[in-house]
Copies of this chain bind each other. A is one copy, B any other.
Amino acid sequence: MSKSQLPVIPLEACHPAPYVREPLSVDAAVELATVFKALSDPVRLRLLSSIASRAGQEACVCDLSEGIDLTQPTISHHLKVLRSAGLLTSERRASWVYYRVVPQALQRVSDALLLESGETAAATA
């Protein structure tokens, strides 16, 4: 059998699965990644949780070093990152700065993950 007679076996084709919905846009991915970056540090997660676990979801900066073996400037830096990502707000009252959770921001991120999991985002979105 000459070369020209060899059967042509096509490479196994890739079978793309069709989209059933629109995936995240570039802009939405960049925005969401910023929030996840703020949440990607264990100390920041503990600070956020420490605030979220208190009455009124609010805590004084003077009360947030409990159980966290870091200097006050380092803790303040982490709180600033969470605030920049829109997860916390802060307010100065007399000598102290108080931090408060932004539940809507956490809800939005939670909904985005739920959407990717195939569940419908919560009706509260």
A contact set with B: CB distance below 8 Å: 11-12, 14-24, 26, 29-30, 32-33, 36-37, 39-46, 48-50, 52-60, 62-63, 94-96, 101, 103-104, 106-107, 109-111, 113-119, 122, 124
Whether B37 pairs with A40 at a CB distance below 8 angstroms is yes
Nearest opposing residue in chain B for A52, CB measure: B116
Which B residues lie within 8 Å of A115 (CB)? 52
Contacts of A55 in B (CB 8 A): 17-20
Q: Is the CB of A113 within 8 A of B106?
A: yes
Q: How far is the CA of A38 from the CA of B94 in the complex (A)?
A: 40
Identical chains bound together, number? 2
- Given the contacts A95-B12, A110-B113, A33 and B23 also touching, CB distance less than 8 Å: no
* A106 contacts B117, C-beta separation under 8 Å: yes
* B118 in contact with A52 (CB, 8 Å): yes
Q: Would B96 and A107 count as touching, CB distance under 8 A?
A: no
| B101 and A117 within 8 A (CB) | yes
